[in-house]
Amino acid sequence: MTIAYVSGASSGIGRGAAVRLAADGATVVLLGRDEKRLAEAAQECGPNAVTAAFDAADADAVDAALPGLIERTGPPDVVVHAAGMTVVGALDQLTPAQWHQQIDVNLTSIYSLNRHLWPAMVTAGGGSVVLVGSTASFAGFPADAAYVASKGAVLAMTKAMALDGAPVGIRVNAVCPGFILTPNLQGFFDAQPDPDAASAGAASAAPLGRMGTPADVAGAVAFLCSAEASFVTGTSILVDGGLLARVPS
């Protein structure tokens, strides 16, 4: 039985990935901050799903929760790092607290979780790790400096982890979503001067003519975690409806 750990699993892309992996037969361990929403997500993942409520951006909380959880569930075969958020603002407008919050959630959480999950995977003989990047891993967005910085770093981290993982049987890749309709993206829209116009603009930005769904991203995650991707590591899959393929006119 495949054991899949998914951070940020209470909503959005993380929840979509957890549901898909469960549908493909994995026992899913859902990590997130909101115990109630985790329980709701676990219901979609079947009776074998396990939940653990803690803040992945809090290194002390991770250190307290993960060792016992791994002992309880067994080592992961699959890890999906989907915890994320958006702090809106140009770099000079961000407070130190906002900057650190963005980096801690989108980047440091991967480090903190990986300190426990990676050695367990090595001991068990390998597996697959998927990080969630963004179109912002490749291109900038105005008034979104900390988010863009964090997602660019996620892509670089993916490559470095893949090199470290190759000798021990761990593949590491990233999915890079475009505009995916999630609570996080809705919060970004709500922070804009005209939220309705921002939402409409996102829906029309991709050549496919719509925003994506968490299930769209989950399909790419499932592929990267599968045997079909056994020779795929250190790379990323854009799930953006063609957004970055088009030169703006």
Cβ(34)–Cβ(146) below 8 Å = no
* Residue percentage of the chain with pLDDT more than 90: 89
The pLDDT of residue 205 is above 70 = yes
Q: Where are the domains of the chain?
A: 3-177+212-239
Q: What angle do CA 119, 7, 173 make, to 5 degrees?
A: 65
pLDDT band, residue 215 (cuts 50/70/90): very high
- C-alpha 106/C-alpha 38 separation (Å) is 19
- C-alpha 50/C-alpha 72 separation (Å) is 10
Looking at domain 3-177+212-239, which CATH architecture does it have? 3-Layer(aba) Sandwich (3.40)
The pLDDT of residue 133 is above 90 = yes
* Enzyme catalytic residues: 147
**138-143 mean pLDDT:** 93
The pLDDT of residue 249 is above 70 = no
Give the pLDDT score at 190: 86
SS3 143: coil
What pTM was computed for the model? Answer: 0.96
